[in-house]
Every structure is written in structure tokens, then in C-alpha cells.
Amino acid sequence: MLELKFYQFKINNLYFSILVCLFLFITSCENTAENIENISEAPPMITEEVPVDSVITNTMLPSLRNLISDMEETVVSISVDILSRGIFYDYSNEGSGTGFIIRPDGYIVTNNHVIEDATEIEVTLQNGSIYPAQIIGLDPLSDLAVIKIDASNLKAASFGNSDALQPGDWAVTIGNALALKGGPTVTLGIISGLERSITTENGSLFDLIQTDAAINRGNSGGPLITLDGEVVGINTAVLSGAQGIGFAVSSNVADPIIKSLIDSGKVIRPLIGLRGADITPAIFERYELPVEEGVIITKIEANGPADKSGLKEMDIITALNDIPTPDMSKFLMELWNNNPVNKDPGKFPVNIEIGFKRRFGNNLINHFFCNINIGTF
């Protein structure tokens, strides 16, 4: 009896398993039919041709070998001896930086902070030749300097138009990073930002190019170049505590400064006799200003051009010669463009629009124009 019941139980289980499999098969067929129906009701595929330039493709950068080989001849290593004065005795320190040749007769551009306190300067060319260098001119305000070596028939770099740059453009740096032996260090990155302003130990720098191409100690004074081999900036600073944030003086800012240093040994700048600051959202709200962009005057120098023209503190400069000046960088750039040295000798009248309510007699006005006879310093 036990054996019979056992087989009966096995048979019943077999019948049950067959029924379950049959049910699952029928259900599966129904779901498949439904899925096929759903697919058939889907919208037709788009077969319209897509323009090639709208498709993102995996393209490789061209080799930079020829570019670097061509530019290396224009880049030099700079070694300096710096005399430091102590309490009991003086001692000498060594420093290093980078420069690049701008004229075949030995004129070289670098950073002011690389050579400003140097007692001796040596320049090493790509071929290993070493020359003593003399200072032609220094400009702490822009952190630029020009030195010269007694050489001729040198290959010179050429400046490009930094105003044509856009964020995302490729950028290459070449320099004497960390004074490593074996030749210059090459790094590749992009233009990360434009018209940056930073504050350094020597003051504020305006209209800088920001790049993520690695800039290390020793790179200072080296060129920031495009893939076309044009110098669009002079590497000058990195943001400490951050990664991939370096700055270069733009070529369009540097070019007139370099020419002035070569011609006169100094930079002759326009004198307007005021100090200003950008209008930030906080300043706009705090003082309930009528405009959100411009340069707010924080100080007027007595008997200076701005003072003589009638400008007052808290006035807002919104345009210079009918060209908008939304910030201090743009204002200084336009002021430089109207430098009497760049124009006719002497003083140069400039129209400035003021965008701040002030009282003239019994009239409350929002805007007025004035002429400033810009001087030089």
C-alpha cells in the first residue's frame, strides 16, 4: 500500500507539472502577440539624412610634434641670481623662469616677477648656448618685462590676436617648468575663460586669459600658443589651492606694453586720476544703483584730470568714448586705447557717460557727459 500511494503521488505531480507548463506556454504566446502588436504600432523610423557637421564624432587631435619643434627654438630658459638682504648679512638665491624671443636681434619677453630683483640674468637657448642678458624695461603693473641678449639671426615668435579666442579653443604652453633638465616642458589644454581679473602681490591684473593647460613654477614668462603657432598670451600666474586654473596676459594687452618698454624702457600710461571698482550684485542692491554694470568711482585724486572735469565719488562710468565699460577691465582697456602716447602727443579729450543720480544746481539728473583731458604718467 505504501508503494502504491508513492507512485500515485508521483503521477499526480507529473500531471500537475504538465498542466503548469501548458498554462505558461499559452500565456507566453499571448504576451508575445501583444508585444508584436505594440511594436507594429510604433512610429516609423526617421530616415532623413543628418548633416555631417551636426554629428559628434570621435576625432583625434593632430600631432603637436611639428608645432612644438617649430616653437621650441623661440623659447628660452632664464636663470637669475637674486640678492636678498638679511639682518646680519646678504645672501644670494637662484631663480628660474621662461621667456620667448620676439625679435631676431635678441629681444626677449618674460614676466617682471622673474627678473625684477635679479643681479645677474642668464638665458639658455634651445641649442644650449648661454648668454648674459640685460634688462631693457620692467612693468610691474602688467607683470611684463623685456630683456636682451647679444645675439642675431634668432628665430622669433609672432603674436596672434587674443581677441579672437573663444572658451574651448586649444592652447599649448611651453616653458622651463621646475627647471627640469632635458629641454622645455610642453602641456596642452584649452582656453577656459577670458577677461579674468586677479589680485597678486604687485597689484591687480586685468583682461587675463584663463587656461587649464598646466602652468608650474618656472613656466612664468613662457608663451601660451594656439595650434597655429601664434602667441596669444604670456603665462604669468596660477591660482593656489585650485587645479587647472592658470592665467596669461593676453597678447593684445601685452603688445603695446612691450613696444613701449623697448622704445623708452618704461610704460607710459594714461592718467585719469581716479580709482574705481566693478559693480557687484551686492553693491547694486546696497546702494540702490540705477545701473547693474559699470565702474563705480571710489576715489578722486585732487587736481587730477577726473577732479578737474567735475567727476565725483560714487559716480558710475558706464561708457568711454561711446564704448560701454561694464567693468574695470573694459574701462582700463578703452582708456589705454585712448592713451595720448598711442594718439597725438599731449592730452586727449575723452567723453565719459555717468550713470548715477547727482544734483547739479536745482536739477536732479541721471546721465551727463564730460570731457577729460587725459594726462600721462
- Point out the residues that are catalytic: 113, 143, 220
Dig out the grid coordinates for 204 from the structure: 591687480
Strands 90-101 and 75-85: antiparallel
C-alpha 30/C-alpha 18 separation (Å) is 19
Tell me how far the alpha carbon of residue 209 is from its chain's centroid: 2
Burial 212-227 (b: 16+ CB within 10 A, else e): bbbbbebbbbbbbbbe
Cell of 65: 610634434
**DSSP reduced 3-state for 219:** coil
Distance CA 187, CA 238 (A): 14
Q: Closest Cα to residue 279, out of 321, 329, 204?
A: 329
Separation between Cα atoms, residue 75 and residue 101, nearest integer Å? 6
What the block records as the C-alpha cell of 75 is 623659447
Residue 325 identity (one-letter amino acid): T
**Helix residue spans in the chain (DSSP H):** 2-40, 65-71, 112-115, 251-264, 281-286, 305-309, 328-337
229-to-26, 29, 226, 237 alpha-carbon distances in Å: 72, 68, 5, 22
C-alpha closest to that of 257 among 142, 134, 374:
142
- Measured CA to CA, the distance from residue 247 to residue 364 in angstroms comes to 44
By three-state DSSP, how is residue 218 classified?
A: coil
Nearest to 113 by CA among 84, 144, 137: 144
Q: Residue 174 corresponds to which amino acid?
A: I
